[in-house]
Amino acid sequence: MARFSRIELAALIAPGVLIVTLLLLAPAINLLRFSFYAAGSTEIEGDAGFGNYAALLSDPYILRIIGKTLLISLAVTFLCLVISLPISNFVWRAPSRWKTGLMILILSPLLVSVVVSSFGWVVLLGTKGLINNLLIGLGIIGAPLPLLYSDLSLILGLTHVLLPFMILSLVAVLEKIDPLLMEAAATLGAPSHRIWWHVQLPLALPGIGAGTTIVFALAMSSYVTPAVLGPNGPNFITTLIYQYFVNLYDWGNGATLSVVLLIISTAVVALYTTLLSRRILRSTRMS
Amino acid sequence: MASLSIRSVSKAFGANKVLDDVSAEIGTGAFVTLLGPSGCGKTTLLRIIAGLVEADGGEILMDDTNVTRLEARRRGIGMVFQSHALFPHMTVLENVGFGLRMRGVPRQERDRLASEALALVHLRDFGRRYPQQLSGGQQQRVAIARAVVFKPRVLLMDEPFGALDRKLREALQIELRRMTRELGITTIFVTHDQGEALILSDRIALMQAGRLVQIGTPAEVFRQPQTRFAAEFMGVENFFAAQILGSDADGTALACGAARLLSRVQAKLPAGGGIAVGIRAEDIALSDDAHPVNGTSGEVRDVVYHGNTWTISVSSAMGEIVCTTQAGAAANPPANPGETVQLAWRPDAVLVIPDP
Ligand SMILES: Nc1ncnc2c1ncn2[C@@H]1O[C@H](COP(=O)(O)OP(=O)(O)OP(=O)(O)O)[C@@H](O)[C@H]1O
Ligand SMILES: [Mg+2]
């Protein structure tokens, strides 16, 4: 392979750095700048200082939506984890000739647009949807249940689209575990649930950490699913942001909420990874 | 604490027949070493005994109880894996205590027993480390401690001393032998090292391409190898095709081409049968006697110094012969290439190999 001088290397990296700066960093800085605009203003003259932050973060209506966004994202993360554990285990233990097929199956929610898969849930959960029709047909309920446009449909929809990320993270880490460790545990007298608890789960921690972080961050910033499946009106921090930007044309508050979302997500993820990292460090000290 | 019967065990991976009708009876508390070249099926046999792999056919019995279908965890077998298989997320002490933990031994008792087991393998102060912080040999010893700490009925060890230097190896051999004797643990010990096998075992089982070719006491396997493979594996260098001329109480008379040999071994074989004889290089000496009972003469081809010994290759009427002689303090080679020398060996050095 050819060797490059420092200057040549810098020249090679420069376009990439430039693109990343322009496309990611610049908008983020711009957003931060917007967040100091006075409500309703798109001009720097309407400088509000931290006024937007103070007003939004003392508004119980806004705080409730932020809180709900957090809670629902946590619920989705937890649900994804619980569902992914047995599935990833199954994929891991499956004969290798099945694995490709299984992986395609797991990835399939990602192959369909989020909009389409969200409308799939509409078909299932609507008042005239499959589930209500079935329950009424069976005589279990008299009137249709309000399944759609609820927190339930939102959680289901988000879990559905984010599940693949969790399963992939778990399968990736399980594949790296030496199967002899399970056998060693078995010869030492461990039944399979204790092998799972004492050996497999601790060794899968890095994957659990990665998967939950990805799912949580994606859930917090998801827009389509809350918009299509969530309760009416602004129900999620992202739909609220949309409302400020597009409906109210209030860039100041929209930008402020975006920054708040970014800070909350980053803070939660940072706290979480710090807490996990010590355990993860322990379980990944593979030689 | 349990006898072990291996009955007609066979195993194939696809078309690859890895174990072919392997049978052995191993008495309670016996120490058996399993010797054989790489890929002959040693690990597979251990894994079947441990219950980690299902055999295609045959049975495993422990104390006359058929355990063929019993789960690995219920067999009470300690296993030292060839690649250690230590839990990377547990400390050394937790690793060693794992088997006790699964048996419900309380924490304090567990740590005490685990520390004792670690002391046994000379790792008393390593309990708080993680496996990745140990050398290969230290990891191997932790794996041994982990397998013996719960006093298993049967102990299976897959080349446990592979990564150890000679001094430590010898210390642990003695320790292991003492411990398994004291506790009466039935042990199968896989090794490539015939010296180790001879020191440790009550019996040696020789394996070749998925078959047990010979099983016997160290002396039997050393003095009476039944096949050429067994003889080679037990360190015999010189082989000659031979014919049995006759056999009596004193031994056997053999014809090896034009040469006549006398062996102390009583060949329980009819006269006229074609066999092989094997002679260890260290049993052949340079001789002043022009007509020894057993011997031949030839031209020295090559002389190599090994420190304690000289290895001399001689081209004789019987074929190429390798002999080793003690070097002692002398710095001069006992013979020089091109020289003609007389070789001689005692009748009890002539091994009769029925299956050449
Ligand atoms: N899981 C498996 N699938 C397919 N073939 C296998 C499997 N395990 C072992 N084998 C094959 O079985 C044969 C015996 O393997 P085994 O590990 O028992 O040898 P071994 O005697 O322990 O060798 P070594 O001394 O190198 O450890 C080898 O040819 C190996 O390739
Ligand atoms: Mg092996």
End-to-end alpha-carbon separation of chain A, Å? 29
- Measured from the CA of B207, which atom of ligand 1 is nearest? 21
Contact A244, A253 (CB under 8 A): yes
Determine contact, residues B200/B149, Cβ cutoff 8 Å.
no
Q: Distance between CA B35 and CA B193 in Å, rounded? A: 8
Integer angstrom CA distances of residue A169 from A89, A155, A164, A207, A270: 12, 20, 8, 5, 18
Point out the residue among B51, B77, B89 whose CB comes nearest to the CB of A282: B89
CATH 3.40.50.300 residue ranges for chain B: 4-224
What distance in angstroms lies between residue B53's CA and the mean position of ligand 2's atoms?
14
The residue whose CA has the least distance to atom 2 of ligand 1 is: B13
Minimal CA separation from A182 to chain B, in Å: 9
Closest ligand to Cα B34: 1
Is residue A62 within 8 A of residue A236, CB to CB? The reply is: no
Q: Token digits for A268?
A: 């939660």
Using an 8 Å Cβ cutoff, are A240 and A65 in contact?
yes
Mutate to test the interface with A, among B52, B70, B75, B89 (most CBs of A within 10 A): B89
Residue A34 structure tokens: 């917007």
CA A77 to chain centre: 7
For B73, the closest of A186, A203, A284 (CB atoms) is A186
Residues with CB under 6 A from ligand 1: B 13, 16, 18, 36, 38-44, 82
CA–CA gap between residue A266 and residue A281 (Å, rounded): 21
Assess contact for B277 and B265: CB atoms under 8 A.
no
Among B67, B102, B149, which would you mutate to test the A interface (most chain A Cβ atoms within 10 Å of its Cβ)?
Answer: B102
What's phi and psi for B355, nearest 5 deg?
A: -115, 90
Stated as kind and residue range, the H or E segment containing B155 is strand B154-158
| Residue with CA closest to ligand 1 atom 14 | B41
Whole-angstrom distance, CA of residue B293 vs CA of residue B91:
64
pLDDT digits 0-9 by tens, A133-155:
888 888 888 888 888 888 899 99
Q: How far off is chain B from A279, nearest CA to CA, in Å?
A: 9
Whether residue A85 contacts residue A129, with contact meaning beta carbons closer than 8 Å, is answered with no
Please count the other Cβ atoms lying within 10 Å of the Cβ belonging to residue B274.
11
Report the C-alpha gap between B336 and B332 in whole angstroms: 9
Of all residues in chain B, the one with the smallest CA distance to A279 is: B89
Q: Mean per-residue pLDDT for A37-54?
A: 72
User: B236-353 adopts what CATH topology?
Assistant: OB fold (Dihydrolipoamide Acetyltransferase, E2P) (2.40.50)
Q: Distance (Å, rounded) from C-alpha B225 to C-alpha B216? A: 9
Whether A287 has a pLDDT exceeding 80, the answer reads no
Phi, psi of B348 (to 5 degrees): -75, -5
CATH value of A50-286 in 3.50.50.60, 1.10.3720.10, 2.60.120.260, 3.40.640.10: 1.10.3720.10
Q: What is the pLDDT of residue A282?
A: 59
Ligand 1 atom closest to the CA of B82, numbered from 1: 27
Alpha carbon of B71 to ligand 1 centroid (Å): 22
Sheet holding B285-286, edge to edge: B285-286, B340-344, B295-305, B309-316, B319-326
Indicate which residue's Cα is closest to atom 6 of ligand 1: B13
- Tell me the three state secondary structure of residue A133: helix
Residue B72 and residue A186: Cβ atoms within 8 Å?
yes
Nearest C-alpha neighbor of B212 from the set B1, B32, B15: B32
Q: Please give the Cα distance from B88 to B181 (Å, whole number).
A: 31
Place of tokens 């690793």: B95
**Ligand found nearest the CA of B22:** 1
Chain B residue set in contact with A, beta carbons under 8 Å? 50-52, 71-79, 81, 83, 85-89, 98-99, 102-103, 130-133, 146-147, 150
**Which of the four pLDDT bands, split at 50, 70 and 90, describes residue A280?**
low
Please name the residue of chain B whose CA is at the shortest distance from the CA of residue A187. B73
For the stretch A104-111, contacts whose Cβ atoms lie closer than 8 Å and that sit 24 or more positions apart, written own/partner, are: A106/A163, A106/A164, A106/A167, A106/A168, A106/A171, A107/A164, A107/A168, A109/A160, A109/A161, A109/A163, A109/A164, A110/A161, A110/A164
Residue whose structure tokens are 């199956």: A105
SS3 B265: coil
pLDDT number for residue B295:
87
- CA-to-CA dists, residue A96 to A99, A103, A168, A181, angstroms: 5, 11, 16, 19
Choose among B75, B88, B103: nearest Cβ to A283.
B88
Contact A184 B130 (CB under 8 A): no
Q: Which ligand is nearest to the CA of B47?
A: 1
Q: How many CB atoms lie within 10 A of CB B95?
A: 28
Centre of ligand 2 from the C-alpha of residue B162, in Å: 11
Which residues of chain A have a CB within 8 Å of the CB of B98? 185, 188, 190, 198
**Cα–Cα–Cα angle for A195, A200, A204, nearest 5°?**
165
**What's the ipTM?**
0.84
C-beta atoms of A187 and B103 within 8 A: no
User: CA-nearest residue of chain B to A201?
Assistant: B89
DSSP H helix total and E strand total for chain A: 14, 0
Residue B82 CA to ligand 2 centre (angstroms): 6
CB–CB contact B89 A181 (8 Å): no
Task: Compute the half-sphere exposure of residue B280: CA atoms within 13 Å on the CB side of its CA.
Answer: 15
Cβ A180–B83 below 8 Å, yes or no? Answer: yes
Tokens of A50: 């931290």
CB atoms inside a 10 Å sphere around CB B121 = 25
Which of these, A169, A151, A143, lies nearest to A88 by C-alpha position? Answer: A169
Cβ proximity of A195 and B73 under 8 Å: no
pLDDT at residue B66 in the model: 94
* Cα–Cα dist B149/B155, whole Å: 11
Whole-Å CA distances, B289 to A220, B172, B285, B342: 97, 45, 11, 8
**Domain residue ranges in chain A:** 50-286
Contact A187 B83 (CB under 8 A): no
Which amino acid is residue B241, in one-letter code? A
The answer to whether B10 touches B17, Cβ cutoff 8 Å, is: yes
Interatomic CA distance for residues A253 and A37, integer angstroms: 8
According to DSSP H, which parts of B237-350 are helical? none
Chain B residue numbers with beta carbons less than 8 Å from the beta carbon of A198 are 87, 98
Model pLDDT, residue A274: 87
Q: What is the pLDDT of residue B189?
A: 95
Task: Give the Å distances, CA to CA, from B52 to A182, B32, B81, B348.
Answer: 10, 20, 12, 45
Contact residues, chain A to chain B, C-beta under 8 Å: 178, 180-181, 183-191, 194, 198-199, 202-203, 282-287
Question: pLDDT truncated to tens, each residue of chain B (356 aa)?
Answer: 689 999 999 999 999 999 999 999 999 999 999 999 999 999 999 999 999 999 999 999 999 899 999 999 999 999 999 999 999 999 999 999 999 999 999 999 999 999 999 998 889 999 999 999 998 889 999 999 999 999 999 999 999 988 788 888 888 888 888 888 888 899 999 998 888 899 899 999 999 999 999 999 999 999 999 999 999 989 899 999 888 888 877 788 888 887 888 888 776 777 777 888 999 999 998 888 777 788 888 999 999 988 888 999 999 888 899 999 888 776 788 888 998 999 999 988 899 888 76
CB B34 within 8 A of CB B190: yes
Model pLDDT, residue B195: 87
Taken in order B306, B307, B309, B313, is the CA torsion positive or negative? Answer: positive
Give the whole-angstrom CA distance, residue B136 versus residue B142: 10
Nearest residue to B275 (alpha-carbon basis) of B225, B324, B323, B235 = B225
The pick from B35, B43, B82, B208 for probing ligand 1's pocket by mutation, whose C-beta has the most ligand atoms within 8 angstroms, reads B43
Chain A residues closer than 8 Å to B81 by CB: 180, 183-184
- Looking at residue B223, its amino acid is R
Phi and psi for A203 in degrees, rounded to 5? -75, -20
Q: Whose CA is nearest to atom 16 of ligand 1?
A: B41
**Which two tokens mark A129?**
């949807």
Q: Is CATH 3.90.226.10 what the domain over B4-224 is classified as, yes or no?
A: no
CA of B38 to the centre of ligand 1 (A): 8
Place of tokens 């052995």: B24
A184, pLDDT greater than 90: yes
- Strand runs labelled E in chain A: none
Chain A residue with minimal CA distance to B97?
A: A188
Ligand nearest to the CA of B208: 1
| Test mutation, B70, B87, B94, B146, chain A, max A CBs within 10 A | B87
Chain pair A-B, CB pairs under 8 angstroms: 75
